Amino acid sequence: MSVTNDMSLFSLLSGASVPVQLVMALLVITSLVSWWYIFIKAFTIKRAEKEAIDFEEDFWRGGDLNKLYEGVTGGRRKVQGMASIFEAGFKEYARLKRHGMEISDVTEGSRRAMRAAYNREMDDLDAHLPFLASVGSVSPYIGLFGTVWGIMNAFRGLANMAQATLAHVAPGIAEALIATAIGLFAAIPAVIAYNRFASSVDRLAVRYESFMEEFSNILQRNKS
């Protein structure tokens, strides 16, 4: 077999030692899982942003809050995002008000209900982000481990040769460096996606918190 054939990608992958192949397989699987989570998070965050915009438009039209609540809870889909925070706050507000409690206590109870709903929504938005962060930070080191192991094996193989040439050592080093390349291939998209999604989640968090404050002020003024 010629050196050119030995240096083909398939030959390098198939000729790598078992530990290096295991490292590369782990990185490929990790990369596929991270891409799956990337698509899920992209869809989830885009939907949350659209739902927040649509709900804010309905809310700030100044209509009856009771009708808005009925519209939010009357659909077949599960209430999510900002609508879920509104539903929790208004439901608790109406319940406490029926018991004849002071407006300050009613408002505080509504605020706590909205905070609980907010925490649930943020937990859903943050789901899978730690995995992407871990892939982005750990994958290069896993690939480097495979590279070090492969280079070690390449030089150990030269110990039995009377005269070592570049043609002998190049395939071993090349197959080892592929592990680092795959590690970077898994890490770079994960880091980019994590940074983008984390920024989007932070913006949604600020939007949700602003809505909670504004809605609490509206409920406090609504003493009727």
Domain extent at residue 168? 3-221
Please give the model's pTM, rounded to 2 decimal places: 0.81
Per-residue pLDDT of the chain (224 residues; tens, 9 = 90+): 344 445 555 666 666 677 778 888 899 999 999 999 999 999 999 999 999 998 988 888 877 788 888 888 877 778 888 999 999 999 888 888 887 777 778 888 999 999 999 999 999 999 999 999 999 999 999 988 888 887 877 777 666 665 656 566 666 677 778 888 889 999 999 999 999 999 999 999 999 999 999 988 888 877 55
The DSSP secondary structure of the chain, one letter per residue, reads --HHHHTSHHHHHHHS-HHHHHHHHHHHHHHHHHHHHHHHHHHHHHHHHHHHHHHHHHHTTT--HHHHHHHHHTSSSPP-HHHHHHHHHHHHHHHHHHTT--HHHHHHHHHHHHHHHHHHHHHHHHTTHHHHHHHHHHHHHHHHHHHHHHHHHHHHHGGG-SS--HHHHHHHHHHHHHHHHHHHHHHHHHHHHHHHHHHHHHHHHHHHHHHHHHHHHHHHH---
Give how many domains the chain has, as a whole number: 1
